[in-house]
Amino acid sequence: MSDEFGQEQAIRKLTPGKLVIASHNPGKVREIAALLGPYGIEPISAASLDLPEPEETGTTFIANAELKAMQAADLSGLPALADDSGLCVDALGGDPGLFSARWAGPDKDFDFAMRTVWEGVEAKGPDAGHDAHFICALALAWPDGHVEAFEGRVDGTLVWPPRGPHGFGYDPMFQPIGYDISFGEMDPDKKHAMSHRADAFAQLVKAVF
């Protein structure tokens, strides 16, 4: 990262100990906790600390991840890691994108959200295509306001009907390139090794550990 004068600053290292996972999504917390396991990190969910969920006002995945991580670090007094991720569908102009969670409504009904995505693509006609990708931004923040951010991506296609009991969110309708199964059908360990979150996390690990 650069300082206000454009000079490169060294990336701050993360030491073993407690780390707040700034998410109220149990699926995300489980995935991130599993990825952190080998590094001596003790993950604590934001929900277990009764931390509020900030309004996601950023215009990019990284901006929203930084906003969530910085608030959690400030309120908890601990380093905090936040994720902002979404499904971007080419035929829908990149939607639901930043608003992927909102498409599920207040009840977090992702069956409804997946149906809405598929119906939107179908409404575009037979030439619309089913190309899509997941983006994951990870932001790691400290109580003093320092923050590091990383972004990962995985490309694939939409499938219908949704398939598989694993994962969360839009996973059952997303089939990554090079595979004949959806994220919802994929063993969690396999998904952890190649997903958009894994891509971003690999960058984070290389930088801060």
Query: What's the CA gap between 209 and 180, in Å, rounded?
Result: 34
Q: Is residue 84 among the annotated active site residues?
A: yes
Helix (H) or strand (E) holding 18: strand 17-21
Beta strands in 22-117 (DSSP E): 41-45, 80-89
For 51, residues 6+ apart whose C-beta sits below 8 A from its C-beta are: 20, 22, 71, 72, 75, 76
Beta strands in 26-130 (DSSP E): 41-45, 80-89
Catalytic residue among 83, 84, 171, 199: 84
- Residue with the two structure tokens 């990284």: 62
183, 114 in Cβ contact below 8 A?
Answer: no
What count of other Cβ atoms lies within 10 Å of the Cβ of residue 40?
A: 11
Q: Which amino acid is at 122?
A: E
Tokens of 4: 């206000």
Using the 8-state DSSP alphabet, how is residue 145 labeled?
S
Which amino acids are annotated catalytic? 84
